Amino acid sequence: MNNRRSFMKKSAALGMGAFGINSLFNELHAADFQNAEKFWDPASETNDDYWATIQEAYTASKSDVIILNNGGVSPSPLVVQEALEKYNRQAAQGPSYYMWRIMDKGREPLRKRLATLGGCDPEEIAINRNATEALNTVIFGLPLQKGDEVIGMKFDYPNMMNAWRQRQLRDGIVYKQLSFDFPIENDDQIVKAYADAITPQTKIIHVTHVVNWVGQIMPVQKISQMAHKKGVEVIVDGAHSFGLLDFKISDLECDYFGTSLHKFLSAPVGSGMMWIKKDKIAKIWPLVCNHEPTSADIRKFETLGTRSFCIEQAIGEAINFQEGIGTKRKQERIHYLKKYWAEKAQQIPGVKIHTSLKPEYSCAIAGVSVDGLKPGELDSKFFTQFKIHTTPISYEGVNCVRVTPHVYTKISDLDKLVDALEKISKKA
Ligand SMILES: Cc1ncc(COP(=O)(O)O)c(C=O)c1O
């Protein structure tokens, strides 16, 4: 709590902004957050008054539709929306000057702030547009030879599985995919499955930190430790973990990490980040050209052509907002929200939860199904009858609707979800 207070003071004093304009966060929220902090009671499980301030900060909390697919893409708080508008208006006065000469100066400070948030060296961070771009850069950039093996699983994200399949077709690598029967509340079982699949040809393990299909948190650090003992490198898809789980990238002990920032960090849509361990940067070929493709400078991955520097710079306000709450507090709140609805839901006859409710194994995401209804039918009933937006999952034996609250989700909206499940299951 004291750290957060001192952050507020420091950021107010420095006028911390993404590239030197006064921070909108300080103008709009620093005082609100300080007031909210007075309501914080460490003994309270709900801290409703504190969270009401956070909910207020998101326009999505006032939406006519209850948004429970924040795992897909998350809304930004108003302060981030306004920062983006401010930058867009500024750029519109002459993008070649304002974007390329002024905002461009904001990239290095932003790199440092992302590195602080990720607990790593800024020289290991490249800023890009999403997790797909970050992870495809690594997948296509690795100097793999014909016959080299990569181990992933069927529950990785399609864009990454397709990238590996393309390398298989083009370069003759061998792409093996494990399958798991989630939920699994046993790290050793997961680590053993990867370990058992390793052969002398294995070069890479690709792991999804939080599995998008059902929300399982994978034991990445244990997988990395096991893999490194066998000389295998580890790529981590952190699309659903960064900005949600309280970890440092170095804790994962992996070699490569990619994430979107428009999921749990609530940065503008079209923002992402790649992390590569310092001594691996030189050997990864950039996906998009650079004049020094074998350089050890992480910036070689940022020759992305003309793109929105406004989006990039508004990430700074999303970081301000995140730091205002604190990632640990955010993780605990979102886990609480998930548990709140899922524990009630699993009491309803005919309703099944497809995700572990223990904090080590899941956080925001949980899958739910109602006997007799296909995922698409349940998703459609949620929306047409109750104005609740979720996403249906029918994939590799997983049949459920994925529900993902975010930090702005109101308890009353989760009560509506449980009520909807009661009504739907009675008629199913
Ligand atoms: C696990 C996982 N990885 C990667 C992605 C891709 O993210 P983006 O579309 O932002 O590139 C997603 C998107 O939902 C995801 O769930």
How is the beta sheet containing 202-208 ordered, strand by strand?
125-128, 272-276, 256-260, 233-237, 202-208, 149-153, 174-178
What is the residue-averaged pLDDT of the chain?
94
Does the Cβ of 212 fall within 6 Å of ligand 1? yes
The pLDDT assigned to 36 comes to 84
Task: Please write the tens of the pLDDT for every residue from 317-356.
Answer: 999 999 999 999 999 999 999 999 999 999 999 999 999 9
Beta-carbon contacts of 189 under 8 Å, excluding residues fewer than 6 positions away, are none
Going from the Cα of 238 to the center of ligand 1, the distance in angstroms, rounded, reads 9
* Nearest atom of ligand 1 to the alpha carbon of 132: 11
Question: Between 43 and 73, where is the model more confident?
Answer: 73
Contact by Cβ (8 Å): 254, 241: no
How many residues comprise the chain?
A: 428
Ligand 1 test: best mutation among 157, 161, 164, most atoms within 8 Å of CB? Answer: 157
Q: What is the mean pLDDT of residues 196-223?
A: 98
Does the Cβ of 131 fall within 6 Å of ligand 1? yes
Instruction: Return the H-helix or E-strand segment holding 315.
Output: helix 309-325
Per-residue confidence at 22, pLDDT binned at 50, 70, 90?
A: low
pLDDT at position 10 over 70? no
pLDDT at position 316 over 70? yes
Does the Cβ of 61 fall within 6 Å of ligand 1? no
Residue type at 351?
V
Find the range with the poorest average confidence among 32-36, 95-99, 373-377: 32-36
Rounded to two decimals, the pTM is 0.94
Does the Cβ of 239 fall within 6 Å of ligand 1? yes
The pLDDT assigned to 27 comes to 74
Going from the Cα of 420 to the center of ligand 1, the distance in angstroms, rounded, reads 28
Q: What is the mean pLDDT of residues 72-90?
A: 96
Task: Please write the tens of the pLDDT for every residue from 249-290.
Answer: 999 999 999 999 999 999 999 999 999 999 999 999 999 999
Going from the Cα of 132 to the center of ligand 1, the distance in angstroms, rounded, reads 6
Per-residue confidence at 6, pLDDT binned at 50, 70, 90?
A: very low
Q: What is the chain's Cα-based Rg?
A: 22
Does the Cβ of 273 fall within 6 Å of ligand 1? no
Does the Cβ of 132 fall within 6 Å of ligand 1? yes
